[in-house]
Structure 1
Amino acid sequence: MEGSSLRHGQPILVLLVILQFITYIALSSTDAPFHSQRNIEYIKSSCSSTTYPRLCYRSLSVYASKINTSPRLLAHTALNVTLKASKSTSRLMAKISRIHGLRPRVAAAMADCVEVIGDSVDELQQSIGELGHIRSSNFALTISDIQTWVSAALTDEDTCMDGFSGKSMNGYAKRMVRKRIIKIAHLTSNALALINNYASTQSTLP
C-alpha cells in the first residue's frame, strides 16, 4: 500500500522538477540575451570610433561576454587579438624567408620584415603586460608608455611594407607579406584607438 502511494506520487514529483527546470531556462533566456546584446552594442559603438570599424567589430564581438562593457578589457582584448595575428604573421614570414631561390632584394626585405615584426610582437607583449597591471596611481605614465609601444609596433609594420615597395619586388613573397601585414597594421591601429578611448574615459574622472 505504501509502495503504491509512492508510485502515484512519483509523477507529481517529476512534474514539479520539470516545471522548475522550465522556469529556470525561461528566466535565463530572458536575462542572458539582454546582457549579451548590451555587450555587443557596446563593442559596436566603441568600434565605430576606430579607423577600421568592421574589422574591429568582427575581431572583438566574439569576446563580448568577456569584455562586458569595460573599456580596459576592450583595449586589452584588442591587443591580444593583434598579438596573436602578429605572431602568426611572424612565423609565416620566417618560413617564406627560408625559401630557396628568392631574389636578393626580396630575401633582404624578408629578413628586415622578420626582424621588425619581431620587434612589433615584443612591443605588443609589453603593452599587454602593462595594461594588465595598470593602476589609478600610475595611470597617466603607464598609459603613455602603452600608447608609445603600440605606436612603435604600427611603425614597425609600416617599415616592413616599405621594404616591398616598387614593381621589382612583385611576386609571391610580396603578396603574402602585404596581405598579412595590412591586416595586423589595421588591427594595431584599432587597438591604439581603443587604448586612446580608454585613456580619455579615465581622464574625465574626478
Structure 2
Amino acid sequence: MFYMLVLVIIIGCTTTTSGAPTPTSMDFIKASCKTTLHPPLCVRCLSAYAGSIQGSDHRLAKAAVTVSLNEAKSAASFISKLARVSGIKPREYQAVKDCISTMANSVASLSQSVQELEQMARTTGQAFEWHMSNLETWVGSALTNQNICSRGFVVNGRVKDAVTKRMVYVSQVTSNALALVNRFAVRHRKGIHKP
C-alpha cells in the first residue's frame, strides 16, 4: 500500500491558468523570480498566473502565496494519508501525527496571508505596514512549520524519505513566496510598484 501511495505523489505546482500570458508579463515574472532562492521553480509555479499578474507586484505576491497555500494543502492531505498506511512503525506514526498538526498550522497561516493580501490591494502608509507585518509573519510561520514537519522524522526509511521530499518542495515554494512578499514590500515603499 505504501508503495502505491508514493507512486501517486506528483510534485508540481497545482495552479489553474488565469488569463493568457504575454511576453511582457512572463518577463516580469522571470525578473521577479531572480530575487528568490529557487528561480526556476518560481517561474514554473507562477507562469500559469502571468495573464492576471500583468506586472503587478501585489498580484505577483498574491499568486505566489496562493500557490504556496495550494501546495501546503496538497502536502497536508498526503501526510494525512500516510497516517492511515498499515505497517507504519510507531515512531514514524507519531512523527506523521506531529507533521499533520504542523501542516495544519502552516495551511492556516497561508490562508490568513491570502486574506491579508486581498485587503491590502490599495493600502498605503501605516495601514500598509500593519498588513505587511502580518503577512510577513504568517508566511514566515508557515515556512517554519513546514521545516519542523520534515525534521520530525528520526527513523530512516520510506516514510521519512517520502515526507522529506514533499516538504522540501513545499518549503521551496513557500520560501519563494516569502521572497516575493518581501520584494512587494520594498517596491511599495519605494513607490515603484504597479497596483
Distance in 1 separating the partners of 2:46 and 2:86: 38
Q: How does 1:123-202 map to 2 (within 5 A)?
A: 123-134=109-120, 135-137=123-125, 138-165=127-154, 169-202=155-188
Q: TM-score, normalised by structure 1?
A: 0.79
Task: List structure 1 runs of 4+ shifted beyond 4 angstroms.
Answer: none
Distance in 2 separating the partners of 1:205 and 1:44: 21
Identity %: 37
Distance in 1 separating the partners of 2:116 and 2:50: 22
Distance in 1 separating the partners of 2:48 and 2:189: 28
Where does residue 100 of structure 2 map in the other structure? 114
RMSD (Å) for aligned C-alpha atoms? 1.5
Task: Give 1:111 shift.
Answer: 0.3
Distance in 1 separating the partners of 2:51 and 2:128: 25
Task: Give 1:49 shift.
Answer: 0.7
Task: Give 1:103 shift.
Answer: 1.1
Where does residue 11 of structure 2 map in the other structure? none
Where does residue 87 of structure 1 map in the other structure? 73
Aligned AA (2:135): I
Based on CA coordinates, which of the two structures has the bigger radius of gyration?
A: 1
Task: Give 1:101 shift.
Answer: 2.1
What do residues 25-49 of structure 1 show as CA deviations (whole Å, max 9, x unaligned)? xxxxxxxx9x710100000000001
Task: Give 1:178 shift.
Answer: 1.0
Aligned AA (1:94): S
What do residues 138-183 of structure 1 show as CA deviations (whole Å, max 9, x unaligned)? 1001101100000000100110111114xxx122211211111011
Distance in 2 separating the partners of 1:46 and 1:205: 16
Please point out which of 62, 76, 100 is paired with 2:86: 100
Larger RCO, structures 1/2 (Cα 8 Å, 6+ apart): 2
Distance in 2 separating the partners of 1:202 and 1:63: 21
What do residues 52-94 of structure 1 show as CA deviations (whole Å, max 9, x unaligned)? 0010001101211111100000000011111111111111111
Q: Which runs of 5+ in 1 are unaligned?
A: 1-32
Aligned AA (2:124): S
Please point out which of 67, 79, 85 is paired with 2:53: 67
Distance in 1 separating the partners of 2:102 and 2:82: 15
SS at match of 2:69: helix
Structure with the bigger percentage of helix: 1
Task: Give 1:99 shift.
Answer: 1.5
Aligned AA (2:47): S
Q: TM-score, normalised by structure 2?
A: 0.84
